[in-house]
Amino acid sequence: MSVGFIVIIIIAVVLLTLGVTWLNQIFPQITGMTNDLFQKGSDSLQKTFQQSSQSFAIYPSQYDLGRGQSLRMAAGVRNNAPDSLDHNFVINVVPAAVSSDVLRNYNCQSLASCSITIDGRSTTLEAFMGSWAAWTSTPFIVKKTESLIMPVTIKVPTSAPAGTYQFGFVACKSTSSTDSGSDVVSSFDLCRPTSTSVWGSGVQTVDILVKI
């Protein structure tokens, strides 16, 4: 084998490596835009509900994503209400926290007070994060002693700075199976961590580590 042929092979390997790296940076979907953990999460939550008294849970609790990538995760509600009735529930997903490097990138002191500009439009960091999450936000019925597990998708925009973004998941339950009473859950935005109708042990969180 001649020296010239070996040199050509080495150059080809280097060019191929550089090409793959460039494609991964320009087209992140090539490396798998959606990370689908819903089935694994559904199995995990079913086991959790069978082996414990927990009535609201999510899976996973943390995950790494690149810009432009998505996570399809699971959120589950178990109706083990002591009144043994069917109930309406609703789930809400709210921005909970960000790491200090994200705040520094936007020159902000806190998530709650952070005003930013995205694509020339003024908004808040909380609203920006809120746009990442997609789920069934309408109320749903869970029959007594049964559970319901639904997918939640979190998609990281390509403009998101690197850092950790924490989302809080909260479930709320109506006061009765006929939706009467003062704590009727009629909309997901009425279900907040401070609501009196919060179901389960409170807010469940997932940390999304955004990598460049």
Residue 161 is which amino acid? Answer: P
pLDDT tens across the length of the chain (212 residues): 565 656 566 676 556 665 544 444 444 444 447 899 999 999 999 999 999 999 999 999 999 999 999 999 999 999 999 999 999 999 999 999 999 999 999 999 999 999 999 989 999 999 999 999 999 999 999 999 999 999 999 999 999 999 999 999 999 998 655 544 444 566 788 899 998 889 999 999 999 999 98
Q: Which residue has the tokens 């999460």?
A: 41
Given this model, what pLDDT does residue 12 score? 67
Shared-domain flag, residues 110 and 138: yes
pLDDT at 13: 59
In the prediction, which pLDDT does 187 show? 76
Burial label for 206, CB within 10 Å (0-12, 13-18, 19+), is buried
DSSP string, 120-160: TEEEEHHHHHHTTEE---S-EEE-TT-EEEEEEEEE--TTP
Q: pLDDT at position 108, please?
A: 98
Strand partners, 124: 115
Looking at the fold, whether 106 and 197 belong to one and the same domain comes out as: yes
Co-location of 26 and 122 in the same domain: no
Do 5 and 89 share a domain, yes or no? no
2 & 14 share domain: yes
Within a 10 A sphere around the Cβ of 34, how many other Cβ atoms? 12
Domain co-membership, 11 together with 86: no
Evaluate the CA torsion angle 27, 211, 100, 204 in order and state its sign.
positive
User: Is the same domain home to 17 and 37?
Assistant: no
Measured on CA atoms in the order 188, 57, 32, 20, is the torsion positive or negative?
positive
- Give dist(CA 86, CA 130) in Å, integer: 30
pLDDT, position 44: 98
Show the domain range for 18: 1-30
The answer on 9 and 60 residing in a single domain is: no
| DSSP code, position 90 | E
Question: What per-residue confidence (pLDDT) applies to 19?
Answer: 54
The answer on 157 and 135 residing in a single domain is yes
User: Do residues 4 and 74 both lie within one domain?
Assistant: no
Mode of pairing for the β-strands spanning 163-173 and 140-142 = unpaired
pLDDT on residue 97: 98
Q: Do 19 and 72 fall into the same domain?
A: no
CATH number assigned to the domain comprising residue 161: 2.60.40.10
The number of folded domains in the chain is: 2
Residues 85 and 187 in one domain: yes
